[in-house]
Structure 1
Amino acid sequence: MLERPDAVLTLIPLLAVSGLAARVLIATTGIATGLLAAPLAPVGYAAALVLVFVELLAWPLAERLGS
């Protein structure tokens, strides 16, 4: 059974790599220029960081409300 902490720990690296994967996909297809793809890499890292902060803030609150 997949618990919430396991899912969050799996999601963090997936989010971090997602920006790089989108950047590589755009660059290899040649549809967009490098200027369009450049800001996508930090977006994945920022999304992973936001997830960590949300979980750090929401997890204790959920445990307090549940008990």
Structure 2
Amino acid sequence: MFERADAILAAVPLLAVSGLALRSLIAVTGVGTGLLAAPLAPVGPLAALALVFRELLVGPVAEDAADDQP
């Protein structure tokens, strides 16, 4: 079965690459300039980091930790 943990582990590298992929797509199509595409590069890794922190602070790991406390 495909569980939540598997989905999160699969999403992290996809999110990390997504900023570069979007930036490359804009640059190749010629729709935007380099100045428009430049801020998109750090978006992917920041989104991946936000996903990891959200899972640690709000997800099942945090719920399990809260349940174990007396």
With normalisation by structure 2, the TM-score equals: 0.85
SS where residue 22 of structure 2 aligns? helix
2: distance between equivalents of 1:62 and 1:2? 21
Deviation readout 1:6-62 (Å, 9 max, x if unpaired): 100000000000000000000000010000000101001100000010111122333
Provide the residue aligned with 2:62 in structure 1: 61
CA distance in 2, matches of 1:56, 1:14: 19
Q: How many residues get paired?
A: 64
Per the alignment, residue 11 of structure 2 pairs with 11
Aligned AA (1:62): E
C-alpha RMSD of matched pairs (Å): 1.0
Name the larger-Rg structure: 2
Gaps of 5+ in 1: none
